[in-house]
Copies of this chain bind each other. A is one copy, B any other.
């Protein structure tokens, strides 16, 4: 097997990571992974590259761009296993990212839940469900289904009755 040397060809890395060679070259161009070259100019990857690729994919799942992933991996060595400290630091950054993302989704979920369950299906009183006339607060970008809490109904153009749950 060509695979038994301690360096991987791009084809091998591709097979193992599930990413196309073109994608790996692209990652390398962006500085996400690193390779050495044979005398003839072909890429050879250290095994650590496989972990880095996995990292990048996971990063994308959490919503990071490739550039952000690159920065996130700043503390990880290119061709060696990271030590505990390095790993812990990077991973903890992640936990926060992930937690934030989960919280965001749970907020969204609860809002949809509440909307169905709050008994306000008359569609006039539920500010979540029917926010049209209390909008334009909180500056551009306020969208209830996303992060923002509905504003107090103070200057709303429509009579709002608190949605009893």
Residues of A within 8 A of B (CB): 1, 3-4, 6, 15-18, 47-48, 50-51, 53-55, 57-58, 61-62, 81-84, 87-88, 91-92, 94-95, 98-99, 101-102, 104-106, 108-109, 112-113, 115-116, 121, 123, 129-133, 135-136, 139-146, 157-158, 162-163
Q: Which residues of B contact A48 (CB under 8 A)?
A: 132
B135 with A16: CB separation less than 8 A: yes
Q: How far is the CA of A133 from the CA of B3 in the complex (A)?
A: 11
List the number of copies, as a whole number.
Answer: 2
Find out whether the CB atom of B146 lies under 8 angstroms from the CB atom of A108: no
Residue of B15, B47, B102, B109 near A136 (CB, 8 A) is: B15
